[in-house]
Structure 1
Amino acid sequence: MAFTSADQRELYLPLIEGIHETPPFGLFMRNLVARTGARRAFMIVTLANAAPDQQPAVLHVAAPRAAQEPPLDYMRLYDLRLHRFGALRPERVYALDEMLDYDDPALLAVQRAALADMEMRHARFLRVSAGDAADAWLVLVRLREDFSASAVATMASIAPHLASALRTLVALTGQRLQTALAQSALARLGIGQIAMDAGARVMAADPQAEALLGFLPDPAGGAGRRLQVLPDVARALERSCAELARGEGGAVRVVRIDARRGIDLLLRRADLSLAEPAARPQVIGVLRTERREEAPDGAAALQAVHGLSAREAALAQAMSCGEPLVEAGLELGLTVETARNYSKRIYGKTGAAGQADLVRMVLTGLAPLA
């Protein structure tokens, strides 16, 4: 099948751009339905590293003339015991008759009755395998006339390109998971970060920073944004970023971003390791809010790590928040003598030299991440 500009515009480019859609490949599927004359269609995507009980991603698409019809019931199709999707040869287009069980007349009658009820007179099935990363299944349906040879050829021609797009999607999903892990840990600690260039232009910001800071479009009209701050603060930021980028005057700077809310931004020279090609930030800005873990969660972590009893862990958690021993014990319903006895056992089990050392151990341990 000859490659045309329409193929590129309507199918191949939407495949590339479709990895950024939620759910992915929506425009590609709509265009494929239009190009093949299908009435309804769906695509199932399963990731190799998904949990056994995780439902696959299913994208339903209908032609405008079938917009009011219910989507195809892919689970009902699966229950009909058609030729199992996983056994389909990748990149080969199957007709509906090839999916039926002609060796079992009773089952064949059930399959045909159900397909007629679902208004699946004609269909094409395509499995696309992205190695050990993901699998996808495409099902396109027509009601009155069978698919043309050109439509079948179109499905076959896009199969290797869809496999490549799936591999890219899986790689991108892995990167997103890594990002979500890092952002979740930082958010639990009340930490936000922004990446800036030498001119204090913001190149990226994590969700915590986005929530706490204000941003404006770059007045110069280029890519990136600027922090929405007072003019003197903006000048201090620009000066600090320029000095850090040049390696002048120490490794860090601290600029008060918002005096009313007491928000300070620690600036340090960027040391990120990024694969090329990449726009490399030269300064990383870090801010932190007063956030602590929920007391029961922190206590549970202390109990598990140091072998404390539940009451000892609750007292240690309260003391790590700066509460004096006696007051912390009273809030937990302990007498002064009991609280002091508990504190001795806490210090003995944790190896802390006193409350200040206990605070250090808790804040640098796992409890703040609970």
Structure 2
Amino acid sequence: MQYVGDQTSLIQGLFSASTGAGGEAWLPFLELLRRVTRADGATIFLDRGREEAEVWTDGISCADAAANRSALRFDRVYDQEGLPAGVIPEGFVRLVKVRAGGATATLCIKRLDIRKDFRSTDRQYLTALTPFLGQAVETWSGLERQRSMAALTGGLAGGLGAAWVIMDLTGIVQEMSANARDLRLLAGQTVRRRLEFPDGDLALTFRTGFAACIAAPEVPQALFDPETGTDLVLRRTHLAGDPVVVATFRAPAELPDPDHFAAHFGLSRSESRLAALICEGHSIKTAAADLGWTEETARTCSKAIFTRLGVQGQTGLLRRVLTSAVTLGLGNCQAGSAQAQFPRPAPKGQP
């Protein structure tokens, strides 16, 4: 009965690890496997073709036993005497290799040679895990890819100053996007509570808009906070069958520091400082004062910027900058990069 109970615990631990985030998710399973088999170490090797293997270990490493794991046959439990020629591990080992989608996973347990060899029961534990190991690793890899894509999407949204908040029909916050609290308007907001705004006029406008959204679900409610320059749209919808109100926020995108701004657009540092101020809403006169320049110097510099970027006037510059990747945090291009090799559009009227 002890064997059946331990086997069940190991399989449950394996699938629990498969839904965890990051490589650390495998450590509790490896610790359990090591304890059940009384091993000194337990390791998982995940090989993806030519990429360097991902390795997770609890206790001592099994790297010497799995040094030539590409030569192992699939779904067979090996001991130290059955390993490929030339592989001589220290101590006693048991290991098995399985397919995991387009990758391979190798699970190994190890005892130091000052102890006795593994029991036949310990080998049976690996045999019992073999049909599930590949599926578990493939599930974990798929979830990791989804998390990476979600993080990429969140990063792009954050670069654009966008965030979302999900509320129930009473206004209680249920979920927030990862970057929501980065917006000035949402700083300090938490789940399980209603959104609170220190500005009384904005708070009243929000409550009025929320009530209108509940009363007329087909009509989105648009709000604006002039202090932070943040737009807000309230929509009533359904998520997984539950009625909710989704609030989407869009704050002004933050421009990078002058060096990155200059590298992205191929401007000098002085030109990038002036361009950034114009994009923040400054006139040529106020930008010149901020930089300590004469108005004539700023005007001459602005004309050079417009020519270099192929735009006409401050409106064209604003459109060019705010629709570029520089607001997404992708503008850290170095001289000679692929981005710098693309030709800039010529100003209208020039070849």
What is the aligned partner in structure 2 of residue 11 from structure 1? Answer: 10
TM-score, length basis structure 2:
0.73
**What do residues 53-112 of structure 1 show as CA deviations (whole Å, max 9, x unaligned)?**
xx54332223xxxxxxxx3262xx27xxx76112322221111112252xxxxxx5xx65
Q: 1:357 to 1:83 in 2, by over 3 A?
A: closer
Choose the corresponding residue for 1:127, options 73, 97, 113.
Answer: 97
Q: 1:168 to 1:289 in 2, by over 3 A?
A: same
Choose the corresponding residue for 1:140, options 109, 130, 133.
Answer: 109
1:124 Cα deviation after fit? 0.9
Q: 1:174 to 1:30 in 2, by over 3 A?
A: same
Choose the corresponding residue for 1:174, options 145, 168, 193.
Answer: 145
Q: 1:28 to 1:176 in 2, by over 3 A?
A: same
After alignment, is 289-298 or 320-329 more displaced?
320-329
Q: Could you tell me how far apart the structure 1 residues matched to 2:287 and 2:169 are?
A: 48
Q: Could you tell me how far apart the structure 1 residues matched to 2:178 and 2:216 are?
A: 29
What is the aligned partner in structure 1 of residue 120 from structure 2? Answer: 149
**What do residues 168-219 of structure 1 show as CA deviations (whole Å, max 9, x unaligned)?**
111111111112112222333444322223332323212322454335564x
Cα pair 1:196 1:282 within 8 Å, conserved: yes
Q: Could you tell me how far apart the structure 1 residues matched to 2:275 and 2:191 are?
A: 47
Q: Following superposition of structure 1 onto structure 2, how do residues 37-116 of structure 1 map, counting pairs within 5 Å?
A: 37-47=38-48, 52=51, 56-62=53-59, 71-72=60-61, 74=63, 77=64, 84-101=68-85, 112=88, 115=89
Q: Could you tell me how far apart the structure 2 residues matched to 1:217 and 1:207 are?
A: 12
AA in 2 matched with 1:7: Q
Q: 1:344 to 1:358 in 2, by over 3 A?
A: same
Choose the corresponding residue for 1:366, options 298, 314, 325.
Answer: 325
Q: 1:6 to 1:72 in 2, by over 3 A?
A: closer
1:283 Cα deviation after fit? 1.4
1:140 Cα deviation after fit? 0.6
Q: 1:337 to 1:266 in 2, by over 3 A?
A: closer
1:28 Cα deviation after fit? 1.6
Q: 1:20 to 1:249 in 2, by over 3 A?
A: closer
Q: Could you tell me how far apart the structure 2 residues matched to 1:43 and 1:186 are?
A: 35
AA in 2 matched with 1:93: V
Cα pair 1:125 1:138 within 8 Å, conserved: yes
SS at match of 2:82: helix
Q: Following superposition of structure 1 onto structure 2, how do residues 332-347 of structure 1 map, counting pairs within 5 Å?
A: 339-347=298-306
What is the aligned partner in structure 2 of residue 104 from structure 1? Answer: none
AA in 2 matched with 1:20: G
SS at match of 1:244: helix
1:366 Cα deviation after fit? 2.5
What is the aligned partner in structure 2 of residue 193 from structure 1? Answer: 164
AA in 2 matched with 1:343: S
TM-score, length basis structure 1:
0.70
Q: 1:73 to 1:162 in 2, by over 3 A?
A: closer
AA in 2 matched with 1:72: S
AA in 1 matched with 2:306: Y
AA in 2 matched with 1:207: A
Q: 1:286 to 1:340 in 2, by over 3 A?
A: closer
SS at match of 1:254: strand
**What do residues 285-340 of structure 1 show as CA deviations (whole Å, max 9, x unaligned)?**
3253673222221222222xxxx667655543343233443665687797765543
In structure 1, list runs of 5 or more residues that go unmatched. 63-70, 102-107, 219-224
1:362 Cα deviation after fit? 1.6
Q: Could you tell me how far apart the structure 1 residues matched to 2:189 and 2:274 are?
A: 42
What is the aligned partner in structure 1 of residue 187 from structure 2? Answer: 213
1:121 Cα deviation after fit? 2.2
Identity score, percent: 25
1:155 Cα deviation after fit? 0.5
What is the aligned partner in structure 2 of residue 286 from structure 1? Answer: 249
What is the aligned partner in structure 1 of residue 29 from structure 2? Answer: 28
Give the number of aligned pairs.
Answer: 321
Cα pair 1:293 1:368 within 8 Å, conserved: yes
In structure 2, list runs of 5 or more residues that go unmatched. 332-351
Cα pair 2:288 2:294 within 8 Å, conserved: yes
Q: Could you tell me how far apart the structure 1 residues matched to 2:275 and 2:224 are?
A: 34
Q: Could you tell me how far apart the structure 2 residues matched to 1:157 and 1:279 are?
A: 41
